[in-house]
């Protein structure tokens, strides 16, 4: 398989993969192209990810011997003390550096049964390596960012660094539209590959892939005394629970990937699902999935969120509705553009419009504040009252309720 796709040899690509898994170096376009046509290198990537995951899961948190720790720190200091050089692709870094991680990993485990990565500083700042962010999910261990690049890259951000990444692969180029968290797991809707991925964040790995025929339009997750459940709506109108039963609430024709979004929300013991083509919100019994009521709200509702004992419904035609759980209209705000994603923190809402705008809404006063961004694809509220915004083709931006940028991780060359 050597020499396929951009002329790279498997040996070179596999070296890049070692850096990618061990140190989160980004994969260049030529490496990603090679992976698409080379089963051997894809298997090597999976092998590396499994080794890393197995070690992180199995070894204990015992401190390493002082001599071994000092040996590793010497290697790191030597690398950091080198004079600056012109940036090079990950697969062209000196082979001794590229081999540092398996040597350290193997030696640490063989001699001590422990892993020492967590006690070492990162070898390189890599905040600027997010390929094409489309979905961002907040977790106790950092953000999980899913990118719509050729490899379907999943990245974990802690502080201002990318600490782990892997390729989700797939028959088609990924089109991630939404992510939800359930406990320590994240579920990602990949509409292009007709699936929902169950992802573990620490260590980063894909636990399971759930097929959703005809693509995923919306997701929600909730947990109760009976355990956790993840509900979905498919592009063609089916509603169901992952791994369980499903029903069809509408028969829809195929649509472009950019137009498949709908909202799903479990609230007050009921399952709410938008049907944006008909301007309806359906209320279902979450156990039987039987439709109890259809709410004709008009417009094109695409997102839902819990709010003050009721729910918010975002209408892509430019409205934000406040509804009771029975469907009565409690309030309405007019919005600019065609907003399609919603983040809620207290009484502050941020909505994104892919034409290049984020708008904040103070719900009690109705005050609107706009912010121009590159291509806002997703938004998630954070526990400190701020919001993380995925900017397609650029990176991740964290803004406060006044839309002041507090942190920005940009996609680098």
Q: What is the pLDDT along the chain (413 residues), one digit of tens a residue?
A: 333 334 678 888 888 888 777 655 667 778 877 877 788 887 787 777 666 555 444 444 445 555 555 555 555 455 444 444 443 333 333 333 333 444 444 443 343 333 333 332 332 333 346 789 999 999 988 899 999 998 999 999 988 788 899 999 898 999 999 999 998 899 999 999 999 999 999 899 999 999 988 889 999 998 765 568 899 998 888 888 887 755 554 444 444 433 468 999 999 899 999 988 889 999 999 888 889 999 999 999 999 999 999 999 999 999 999 999 999 999 999 999 999 999 999 999 999 998 899 999 999 999 999 999 888 999 999 988 999 999 988 889 999 888 898 888 765 44
Q: DSSP 3-state assignment of 216?
A: strand
pLDDT confidence of residue 5: 39
Q: Where are the domains of the chain?
A: 4-124, 210-410
> Model pTM?
0.68
Tokens of 33: 């192209």
Distance of CA 181 to the CA centre of its chain: 10
For residue 316, what are the contacts with CB-CB under 8 A and spacing of at least 6?
276, 299, 300, 301, 302, 338, 339, 340
Instruction: Give the per-residue pLDDT at 320.
Output: 97
Distance of CA 198 to the CA centre of its chain: 11
Q: What is the pLDDT of residue 17?
A: 82
Q: Which residues pair with 270 in a beta bridge?
A: 267
> Distance between alpha carbon 186 and the CA centroid of its chain, in Å?
8
CATH number of the 210-410 domain: 2.130.10.10
């Amino acid at each position: 398989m050597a020499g396929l796709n951009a002329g790279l040899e498997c040996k070179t690509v596999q070296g890049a993969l070692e850096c990618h898994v061990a140190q989160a170096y980004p994969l260049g376009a030529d490496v990603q192209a090679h992976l698409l046509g080379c089963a051997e290198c894809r298997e090597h990537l999976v092998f590396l990810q499994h080794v890393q995951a197995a070690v992180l899961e199995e070894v204990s948190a015992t401190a390493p011997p002082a001599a071994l720790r000092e040996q590793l720190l010497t290697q790191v200091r030597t690398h950091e003390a080198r004079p600056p050089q012109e940036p090079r692709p990950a697969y062209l870094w000196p082979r001794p550096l590229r081999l540092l991680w398996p040597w350290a990993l193997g030696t640490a485990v063989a001699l001590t049964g422990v892993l020492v990565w967590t006690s070492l500083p990162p070898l390189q700042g890599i905040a600027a390596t997010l390929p094409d962010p489309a979905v961002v999910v907040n977790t106790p261990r950092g953000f999980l960012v899913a990118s719509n690049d050729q490899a379907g890259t999943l990245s974990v951000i802690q502080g201002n660094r990318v600490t782990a990444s892997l390729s989700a692969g797939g028959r088609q180029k990924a089109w991630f539209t939404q992510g939800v968290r359930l406990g320590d797991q994240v579920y990602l809707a990949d509409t292009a590959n007709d699936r929902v991925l169950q992802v573990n964040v620490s260590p980063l790995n894909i636990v399971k892939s759930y097929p959703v025929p005809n693509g995923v339009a919306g997701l929600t997750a909730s947990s109760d005394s009976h355990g956790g459940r993840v509900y979905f709506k498919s592009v063609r109108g089916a509603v169901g629970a992952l791994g369980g039963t499903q029903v069809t609430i509408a028969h829809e024709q195929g649509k472009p990937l950019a137009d498949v979004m709908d909202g799903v929300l479990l609230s007050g013991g009921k399952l709410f699902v938008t049907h944006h083509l008909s301007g309806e919100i359906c209320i279902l019994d979450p156990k039987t999935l039987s439709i109890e009521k259809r709410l004709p709200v008009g417009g094109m509702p695409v997102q839902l969120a819990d709010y003050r004992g009721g729910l918010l419904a975002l209408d892509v035609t430019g409205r934000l509705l406040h509804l009771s759980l029975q469907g009565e209209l409690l309030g309405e705000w007019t919005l600019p553009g065609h907003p399609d994603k919603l983040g809620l923190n207290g009484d502050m809402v941020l909505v994104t419009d892919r034409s290049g705008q984020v708008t904040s809404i103070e719900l009690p006063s109705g005050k609107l504040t706009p912010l121009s961004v590159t291509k806002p694809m997703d938004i998630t509220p954070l526990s400190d009252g701020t919001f993380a915004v995925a900017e397609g083709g650029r990176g991740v931006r964290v803004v406060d309720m006044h839309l002041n940028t507090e942190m920005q991780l940009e996609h680098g060359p």
